[in-house]
Structure 1
Amino acid sequence: MQEEIERTAAVRIHALEDGNLTEKAKKLTLWALAWPIFIELFLQFLLGAADTLMVSRISDDAVAVVGFSNQLFSAVTTLFVTVASGAGILIAQKLGARKSEDARTIGIMSLTVSCTIGLALSVVLYLFPKQISSWLQLPDELLPLAETYVSIVGGGMVLVAVMSALSTAIRNTGNTKGPMFIAIGMNVVHVVMNYGFIFGELGFPEWGLKGVALSTVISRLLAVLVLLFMFLHAFVRPIRLRDLKQFDRGLFGEIMRIGWPLGVNMSCWVFSQMAIYAYIAMIGSSELAARTYMNTLESFCFMLGYSIALALQIQIAHLFGAGRMREAYKTAYRALGIGLSIVIVNAAIIYMIGKPVLGLFTKDEAIIAFGVSLLGLNILLQPGKMLNMAIQNALNAVGDTRFTMWISLGSLSIIASGVSYWLGIGLGWGLTGIYIAMILDEYVRGTLALIRWRGRKKLREAAGEMSEGNVSASGIRLEA
């Protein structure tokens, strides 16, 4: 009887997959995937800009603490993003290969494992905020503010872990609009609460940086609740709460095979950024604040390009899973060309309007001067960043994550961390020297990734495996 039920369920699932196949293919164009991701990233940018602008009304020291803390949070999130990123790529590949039950199980495991890691991180950040900030060379005068902000926002790191797992799974099913709408709601709540807590308006107490931290945690909690509801209905067969205990060792092994190099890759980048922030902190608090403001401006420059890179990864993973190798290969170049055009224009616009924009954030002439001096270098930085993002994402989508890990280990350790210290601190070039090292790092990693992609190693291997397994007989196209 049980076997009959399982067979009936399988038939229904395959029927639903067949019925949705044409519709799904239409949805997975680069633009259809990219524009909701862009809106989501743009809203996250607005969230960061609103945070920075509002926090600047407290003090430049508060801005420096927020920028420093965000680098710390980015570093610790790599532990659960490793699982979420590997799961996302596999979900797209499995759906491309029409294995929806495997995709569903992968999404469930990503959520439960990420939540467990997030809880552990929340405990550590809540209990030891001052010690961690001091260890990372934050100036002593900023430690009291950091203790407040890191303990509250870091204590809610489990929410970031759950958000990452849920939104990544949903997005890789091809539904990039859902996370976008949730980002809209989260941003509105966050900005309104920021305004209330900072200025003591709308019935809120005037809590300054503490209020900003609470606003961040509350808005994330609301987003998690809505994302969870959407996640339960993201696959062909809805997920029930009791299904959250599912665990498949074989599929989890596949997640980690793709995911752990991604985690190392991301860790290398984040820790290099933390090293750079530590170098800047050694130079002075004004330079640290200037770098935080520049992060906001740079986010605007590359976020549309990054949305294209993320959409590219989803699209190539689906094409790769479906055996459409030639189409996957060409898609990367088309996306790269579009992305380069966009980031160059954006960087040029920011260069022209940079000084008055920086003036909205701070009246400190030294900080504005530091920021303006970097805007010209930013025009050189952004094309290298786009090259790196697009081609590395393409390689990740086909499972070539170990290669991207190795080039990141080398370049980020030697160039981004080592050369930036040599130029910025050793030779005394300051922020200019650090930016030169950042530019060099992006172009080195991007060029190496491009050479690897042109070799089509993973695409040829997959096509050969399909051919040997007579996959073509099942209707999957082999395009070497």
Structure 2
Amino acid sequence: MLKKYTREFGYNWRLASPVILGMLGHTFVGFADNVMVGQLGTAELAAVSLGNSFIFVAMSLGIGFTTAITPLVAEADAAGNVLEGKSAFKHGLVLSTLIGVALFLVVLFSKPLMDLMQQPEEVVTLALPYMDIVAVSLVPLVMFQALKQFSDGLSQTKYPMYATIVANLLNIVLNYLLIFGKFGFPQLGIVGAGIGTLVSRILMTVFLWKLLHNRKRIRKYLTNIRFFRLKKIMVKKVFDLGFPSALQMFFEVGIFTAAVWLSGVLGKNPQAANQIALNLSSMTYMVGVGLSVAAMVRVGNQKGLKDYRELRRIAISVFVLTFFLEVLFASFFILFRDWLPTHYLDQYDMANMKDNMEVISVASQLLLIAAFFQISDGFQVVFLGALRGLQDVKIPTVITFIAYWVVGFPISYFLGLHTELGNMGIWIGLLSGLTVAAVFLYFRFNYLTRKLIMGITLKPGDNN
């Protein structure tokens, strides 16, 4: 019985792996950025972290909205309807660009909030010009994501990966030249890091457009497009899918951001331990994201073909593959939880040994929870992908809000700040929210797919 699912593993992985590599590339560049800026001093590193906290929340809304494009294009592609696919892409790109501009303006107008956050004055002074530049990069970033989601919808996941890798390499080079003023370039500090991010995101978008336009199979979707002629029906269709998807990502990003702030209330060492565990978990999470795209594309294809039994079988094959991989990651975290945190801190730094050993100890405890966290987190993201492939987003949005903010956050807040569990309590809340989300998102998928199958196989009078 298991074989009918495992035989899909190869194709699922080929579809997901370019997405995973692209996402890991972004994670690596974020790591490289921090290492480079950290050479300037702790204030500069704190400034980049503060500025990016605003950018990341805005980015989650933009990226979440663009996910509406993938299932629409996948369904049209499977049905052989080029005009419908072209329309979905055009309307998705235009609306995403407008949202990117709106997010840029929101970030600019939110800068006074920094003064209310009781941050060090030196850090705020450094963060403001950096954030101005990176905020502009939200526009090309969201446009790139629209192109990426379109490409994913056509099952062409490798081209966004190529563009991401090239852009990430360019970003590292520009950072090196502009942060430190190498080879005759001006030494701009963290402003140079912001310029590197902006330029690389613009070129990333242009490069992906060129890659897609040069492919014969894809070019037919990109030619003779009248971007300023929009149809209300398709605008509504994209918005009805995109806005709830944006909220889903916002709710999840929000609770993890809240966990960072809660750990900060406990002190610098708990916050450092939280960051280590979160960084390690985010890397394995990228595998779930890639498999989520595979689920979204393949479910969208089968929806276009109206083959609902096959749709359910293929979706479950992605779920089974996710389970095997997440169990592997969970085992890795359990076995190496004491060793992994040591790569972030110097155990032999005599001046800071006490603090470093405390952080390593707390991070090790958090990785034990993160082991179980892996399975819940992987499942919830692939279930969301499958539901987006079915173009079901409203009920999942309610589920994610309840799971993260009605269940997860209150547990994190109470156990983290009002019991001796501290950081462990915060992460128990995260685990609770992710588990509730995973369970009820699966119930939703199970209900919808069984309903679709029964609707096809039952004839009038069969249920009498």
- Per the normalisation by structure 1, the TM-score is 0.83
**Deviation of 1:183 (Å):** 1.0
**CA pair 399-138 structure 1, distance change in 2 beyond 3 A:** farther
* Unaligned residue ranges in structure 2 (runs of 5+): 1-7, 460-464
Output one character per residue of 1:93-143: Cα deviation in whole Å (capped at 9) or x when no partner. 1212222211111111111111122123223424553x1334456565632
The yes-or-no answer on 1:380 pairing with 2:368 is no
State the secondary structure of the residue aligned to 1:174.
coil
Amino acid at match of 2:433: D
Distance 1:463 1:169 in 2: 31
Question: Which of 202, 205, 216 is the aligned partner of 1:224?
Answer: 205
Partner of 2:343: 357
Partner of 1:40: 22
Q: How does 1:60-459 map to 2 (within 5 A)?
A: 60-126=42-108, 128-129=110-111, 131-135=112-116, 138=119, 142-232=123-213, 235=218, 237-240=220-223, 243-349=226-332, 352=336, 353-359=339-345, 366=355, 368-369=359-360, 370-427=362-419, 429-455=421-447, 457-458=448-449
Answer with 343-352 or 187-196: which moved more. Answer: 343-352
Contact kept? 2:252, 2:404, Cα under 8 Å: yes
**CA pair 466-104 structure 1, distance change in 2 beyond 3 A:** farther
Distance 2:116 2:387 in 1: 36
Contact kept? 1:96, 1:319, Cα under 8 Å: yes
Answer with 327-336 or 381-390: which moved more. Answer: 327-336
Distance 1:348 1:200 in 2: 44
**CA pair 98-200 structure 1, distance change in 2 beyond 3 A:** same
**CA pair 164-385 structure 1, distance change in 2 beyond 3 A:** same
**Deviation of 1:389 (Å):** 1.2
**Deviation of 1:333 (Å):** 2.3
**Deviation of 1:165 (Å):** 1.0
Output one character per residue of 1:24-45: Cα deviation in whole Å (capped at 9) or x when no partner. xx9x931221121122122122
Partner of 2:5: none
Answer with 69-78 or 284-293: which moved more. Answer: 284-293
**Deviation of 1:205 (Å):** 3.1
**Deviation of 1:206 (Å):** 3.1
Answer with 85-94 or 58-67: which moved more. Answer: 58-67
Partner of 2:3: none
Output one character per residue of 1:51-91: Cα deviation in whole Å (capped at 9) or x when no partner. 23323333445444444444432322344335411122211
**Deviation of 1:228 (Å):** 2.5
Partner of 1:18: none
Distance 2:175 2:418 in 1: 40
Amino acid at match of 1:341: F
Distance 2:346 2:298 in 1: 39
Distance 2:92 2:12 in 1: 25
Amino acid at match of 2:363: G
Partner of 2:455: 464
The share of aligned pairs that are identical, in percent, is 21
* Unaligned residue ranges in structure 1 (runs of 5+): 1-25, 469-480
Partner of 1:16: none
Amino acid at match of 2:451: R
Distance 1:203 1:220 in 2: 23
Answer with 102-111 or 49-58: which moved more. Answer: 49-58
Distance 2:241 2:106 in 1: 27
**CA pair 200-214 structure 1, distance change in 2 beyond 3 A:** same
CA-based RMSD: 3.0
Contact kept? 1:309, 1:393, Cα under 8 Å: yes
Output one character per residue of 1:182-213: Cα deviation in whole Å (capped at 9) or x when no partner. 11101111112222334333433333322222
- Per the normalisation by structure 2, the TM-score is 0.85
State the secondary structure of the residue aligned to 1:245.
coil
Output one character per residue of 1:383-405: Cα deviation in whole Å (capped at 9) or x when no partner. 11011111222122112212211
Distance 1:120 1:454 in 2: 37
Amino acid at match of 2:455: G
**CA pair 449-422 structure 1, distance change in 2 beyond 3 A:** same
Distance 1:83 1:293 in 2: 29
Amino acid at match of 2:29: L
Partner of 2:4: none
